[in-house]
Structure formats: structure tokens, C-alpha cells
Amino acid sequence: MRSGQEFAGRFVLKEVIGAGRGGDVWLAHDTVVGQDVALKPERIAGDRETAVQRLLGEPRAMAKFRDHPHVVTLFDVVTVPQAPTGPQVPREGDEHRDGDGQESEPETYWFITEYVRGGDLDGQPPMSPVEAARIGAQIADALVALHEAGIVHCDIKPANIGLTRRGTAKLLDFGAAYRVGGTETITANGPFSFTPDYAAPELARGNVPRPASDVFCLGTTLHALVTGSPPRGGGPEDDDDGRGDGGDREDTERLRYWKAEQGVVELDADAVGPLYPVLTAMLRRGPGQRPGAAEVKRLLEAVAEPTAEPASLGSAEPPQPPVSADTDGPGGPSDKRPRRRRALLAAALGLSAVLALGLVLIPNGSDDGRRTDDSGRSSLQDSSSNSTDATDSPSGASQSLIGDPRTADVCALADATALGRFGKVEVDVDYGNFDQCDVLVHSDGKTRIDVSFQLRPGSAPETSTPTSTIGRIDITESAESDECTLLLTPDGPAEGIVGVRVNMGEGSVAGGSATLCAVADTAARSAAELLNEGPVPRRSQAYPEASLAWANACELLDAKALSAVPGLKVDEPEVGVANWGCEWSGSVDELEAEVDFFRDQPKSGTEGTPLRLSGYDGLAVPDDDGEACRVYVQYREYSGENAETFAEMLRLRVGGQRPTDELCETATSLARSAAARLRAQPPS
């Protein structure tokens, strides 16, 4: 066959566009209806009657879905007689010789199908998780139709998915399809009726295919579309050590089949991002533990459309051990919490939350719910609870997102209902500085995610670009660290920032940093919805007059006291909200000093070195890594939530490239000075 040749009296061959089991796949022009089509050959072998019956099962299966938007359309099946290739000496058992001893080509059937102009997805550059989810949802829609008709495709892979010019996904090639409830495949199944890199373990082991097998294959395919390879733990070049001889290639092939049979899955959690929880469910080893195609479609649509309602994926374990995440608490290594916490606001989902953890999606678009007044400008609507310290100002004037920090209820930013889908939620009102509120999310008895809301001074950098916007509130990623930190700022010239930071408090979580950042996004979006109505809500009760909330931490250390830290830039402090904290950097040995207020249960003498400073109990606690030392000065005890005893403290920190003992000695010197100043000038 050659380009320009007429085929079957109506098709003009144009070019080879691929290869199938039966030979080259041609692009041709149908001169009768005036459209381009694809011609795919399928050859029969063995017993003719049986072979033809099985071969025609594929077009019969495809014909059931002629009107489905995500299944390639079959137009016709034609046969073309093959001319003999010349006289040959007959041999016993030769199935391809006629009675005259001439060798003939195996009989070929040509499937005339829709030409998918975008080509298949095999070998394409990696795409974004959102784009892969969009394609996957469309293929899942096709699988719903197949499975309802009792058909399992058995060979979902990038090469069997095509894209039209408009980006519509089409399921191709039903050559390995299986009729559920029957005793044989729809088409003649050989040893390569599945592709091991993408196959479900039950397929690789030769068990009866089932609809869940297609779900697994689609999961491996989506991983390949995003990362460039199926989730089998490295490509062939990794498996054969680059030696490339025949024996090693055989070993590599055996390894591929072994991985498929065992259901080996190694997900690249960072790369697949919001797809991780969906893929974790789709790639479960047990077919009965995987979601059905309809559920997969819904979950993938949620990833592809970030405004869609997230969903739980059940309680089964992921196929691989979870990715560990940083376990430092919000206050740094030395501020790790004890496991006691009160269930102040609970929205428990139980163990099912383990896999739901990454399902609230990280949006990359803007919210279209921007509130406007009659003139079309964004408006700031104050609720009654926000009105105490809200600043009403003319258009264009500065408006505070925070109001007076001393009356702000930071914990009002925490939406226990939104975060409740991840597990049991506790809003901790008695931890950290007065500018923060921590939320503890327990997905099980061993795992805790810490979510911290913090008031910050200043405004967003002019060069920052919001990742999303809710009304007048921009949500921006913070560049200050590798943690999942988002900043909430007004879109105008307003002062004040609300930060949302998420990290692991205890244990590890499936999805690692991708899951933590999804939690951060949920927390940030719910807080932004509240802030769109006005500044941070006000506290229902004021802090007591004796509280450190009314004190100025920066005034507790003067230049003389700070001189204990060599090279410190005492005139250039970084001042926190309401002067509740100050930090100084230096030019010698990377030394730095910090003073701030801190709340927690009273410190125990077993946690560090006990001190007595100006009549206050103190404790020196070196960081685990030895790069800093903190001294806590207990100022006053009070009754917190559930009548538990808590304490307000000063916290002095000194870090740098000095021996730990020297850092603790310097921090103690600062603490002594601060305690003396506090004793002389208590809050009023």
C-alpha cells in the first residue's frame, strides 16, 4: 500500500499515522462522504471461523457506543482479498497456503473509524494535573457506558486515548476488550492483550477482567500523562542499569510483568498534586477497593473544576507508604506540642479522612463572586461583629484588614466545618502569641495536621501575583519558606496581612506536601470569604488588664541588653503586630535575637534548665538541632478553655553559628533583662 492509492473503491490513502496489531494504520480520505477517516487492519489467524467471530467482536462492541462523545466512532468494516505472493512448496500444517501450493496473506479486515486529528497521547509532553483530570474524567465517562453494557476495555493507556482538535478525549482500540459474564474476550486475546506498565494486577495475573481493572489502568495512565511515566518506580533504563544486552532486556521485561502482577505502585505525589488522593484510590491493589467509573468521573471533574464539591474516597490504605512531612510545630522545633488537646470544635470524619486529605483542590483561577456596590466598585461590608474597629474610609484610602489587633478574634477565621472534612478539628485558643490561632486536625489517632492563622503587619509585595481571589481578598503564595503558607490581603491599598500556614504536627500524611497545601488552601479560602465581609471579627471578651496582650514586647530589650549579642543591628528590628514581638539580625556568625509573647500550658522543669529571673520562673530549652536556644519566662497563669491552666510567657530566642551552650547563655542574659523590665513596668 502506498500514498495516493485507492482502497476498497472509495478510500484514497494519504499517510501512515500509526501501527496496530495487524499492521500500519492509515489516514485516508473517504471520497463518498468527503471526510478523512482512519483505516486500521486486523488479521485473522488460526481457525478461521473462530478467529473471525472474535475479531468482529471489536467493531460490534464499538458499534454499541456510536453516539458516545468519548468513544471513537466506527463507520464500517471492509475486507479486501489478498493476492497470493507466489508458488511455494506446501508444508504440512501451513495455514496460509491455498490448494495450488501458493502462499497467501492472512485474511485482513479493515476497521474504518473516525480520524482523531489530535492524535493519541503516547509520547506527548507531560501535562498539568488539572488537564490530565479533564481528560481522565471524559475517559471515565466512556468507561461508565462500557461497563453498563458489560464490556471491560482492558487496555487503557496513553496510546489508546486520542484528542480531537477541540481537545475532546476519545477512547480508542477495543482489541483487548472483554465481555463481563462471558467466557472469552471479545477479540482474540494473545499474551500482549494488556500492557504491563499500565495493567491492573488481576489482568497481569491472568484473572478475569472486571470493570475495576479499567479504573486501575486509567489511574496509571493519568500518572503517565502528568509525570511522563506510569507509576511503576522508574523506567526501563532504571531497571537494566543501562547495560542493554539481551539477557538484561529479558530481565527487564520479566520485572515489568512482575511489577504488574504484584500491583507495584510508586506515585510521584509532588508531581500529580491534587490528583494524588484520586489516584491513590484508583490504584488500590484490590479491585473491590477501587471506586467505580462513575465515582472516578466525579472525582476527576472536581480536580479539573476547582469549584466542584470535594468528596471522600473511603478508608482503604494507599498502595504505597505515605510521604513523610516536616514534623516541626508552628513555633519551631522546641515548641512541639504535647498530645493533650481539647475538642473545642469537632467535625469528625473518622478514618475516611485519611484519603480525603488532598481532595479539597488547589484552585488556580479567580472567584467570580466579587461583591460590588451600585457603582460597580468592590465594596467592604461590615457585619455587626466586625464593626467595633473597622475603619470606614473614602474610596482609595487605606483600610485595615485586621483592625485593632488587641480586640481581634483570630480564631474566628477558622472554619471548623470546612476543615472538618479532613478529620476531627480542634480550635486551640490558648497557644502561641496573641496574633495567632491554631487549628489541630486529627485524621486518626496517630496523625495531626497543624493549621495556623496569624496576623501580620504591612501589605503584600507589589510584585506578588495572587493565585486566586475571593471578592476583594487576594490569596498569594508566600515565598518565605518551603512550607504551605498562603497570605490573605485586600486587593486595594490596605494595611494588614493574614497568614495561613500548614505543617505536620505528628506522624505523616498521604500526599505529603501536596496534601498539606490543599489543607492550607481550604483554610485560606474560608478565611478569605469571611474577610471579604470586613476586618477580622472582634473578641467577645477583652483580654484582662493584667494580660501581656496590652504590653509592648519590643520595649523589654533596650540597646544595652541587646549588646549581649555581638553584631546585632539594634536599630533595625522587625516588629510584629501590636508590638507583640521583635526580631533583630546581626552581622556576626549569623546571630539573631527575638523576643515575643507566648501562651501554652505551664512549662515543666523536665523540659529544660530551670531558671529564676526577677521573681519569675524560667526555663532554658535548646533546639533539637542545636542552632538556637529559647528561654521561657512565665509571667502569669490563667484559666483557659475547659478550666485548664495556661500561662502567658515571654519567649527569648537566640540563634546562630555558636555553640549551643553559648546561645543559651546569651538567651538567658536577654531574658534576665526583659524580666527585670517587665517586673518594673507590668501591663496596665
Q: What is the pLDDT of residues 410-451, one digit of tens each?
A: 999 999 988 988 889 999 999 999 999 999 999 887 889 999
> Who wins on pLDDT, 604 or 630?
630
Q: Please state the CATH superfamily assignment of the domain spanning residues 118-320 in this structure.
A: Transferase(Phosphotransferase) domain 1 (1.10.510.10)
Kindly list the domain boundaries of the chain, sorted by start residue.
1-43+73-115, 118-320, 333-369+398-531, 548-680
CB 291 within 8 A of CB 215: yes
Backbone angles phi, psi at 455, to 5 degrees: -85, 135
Measured CA to CA, the distance from residue 533 to residue 208 in angstroms comes to 57
Half-sphere exposure at residue 12, Cβ-oriented, CA atoms within 13 angstroms: 8
Interval 366-385 mean pLDDT: 31
Among 42-51, 291-300, 492-501, 596-605, the range scoring the smallest mean pLDDT is: 42-51
Residue 133 has pLDDT above 60, yes or no: yes
Binding site per annotation, positions for ATP? 40
pLDDT tens column, 33-84: 888 888 888 776 656 665 555 556 556 666 677 778 898 887 877 876 655 4
Burial 563-599 (b: 16+ CB within 10 A, else e): ebbeebebeebeebbbbbbbebbbeeeebbbbbbbbb
At residue 426's C-alpha, the angle toward residues 421 and 429, to 5°, is: 140
Give the pLDDT of residue 488: 94
Give the pLDDT of residue 524: 93
At residue 30's C-alpha, the angle toward residues 26 and 32, to 5°, is: 160
**603 contacts: CB under 8 Å, gap ≥ 6:** 617, 619, 621, 632, 634, 647, 649
pLDDT tens column, 92-118: 344 444 444 444 555 777 888 888 887
Distance from the Cα of residue 595 to its chain's centroid: 36
User: According to the CATH classification, is domain 1-43+73-115 in 3.40.50.150?
Assistant: no
Q: What is the DSSP letter of 248?
A: H
- In which residue are the cell numbers 470606614 written? 392
- State whether the Cα torsion 538-541-545-546 is positive or negative: negative
Binding site per annotation, positions? 40
Could you give the percent of the chain with pLDDT greater than 70? Answer: 71
- State whether the Cα torsion 404-409-410-414 is positive or negative: negative
Residue 369 has pLDDT above 80, yes or no: no
Asked if 1-43+73-115 and 118-320 have one fold, the answer is no
Measured CA to CA, the distance from residue 536 to residue 388 in angstroms comes to 10
Measured CA to CA, the distance from residue 420 to residue 290 in angstroms comes to 24
Residue 30 has pLDDT above 80, yes or no: yes
CA distances to 51, 86, 98 from 102, rounded to whole Å, are: 22, 5, 6
Q: Please report the beta strands in 98-149, taking only residues with DSSP state E, as ranges in sequence order.
A: 108-114
Residue 177 has pLDDT above 80, yes or no: no
Give the pLDDT of residue 604: 86
Give the pLDDT of residue 51: 54
Give the pLDDT of residue 483: 63
Does pTM top 0.75 for this prediction?
A: no
Give the pLDDT of residue 105: 56
Residue 373 has pLDDT above 90, yes or no: no
Measured CA to CA, the distance from residue 447 to residue 108 in angstroms comes to 60
List for the chain the helix, strand, coil content (%; round to 5). 30, 25, 45
**Hey, what's the torsion of the CAs at 86, 88, 91, 94, to 10 degrees?**
-10
Element (DSSP H or E) covering residue 536 = none
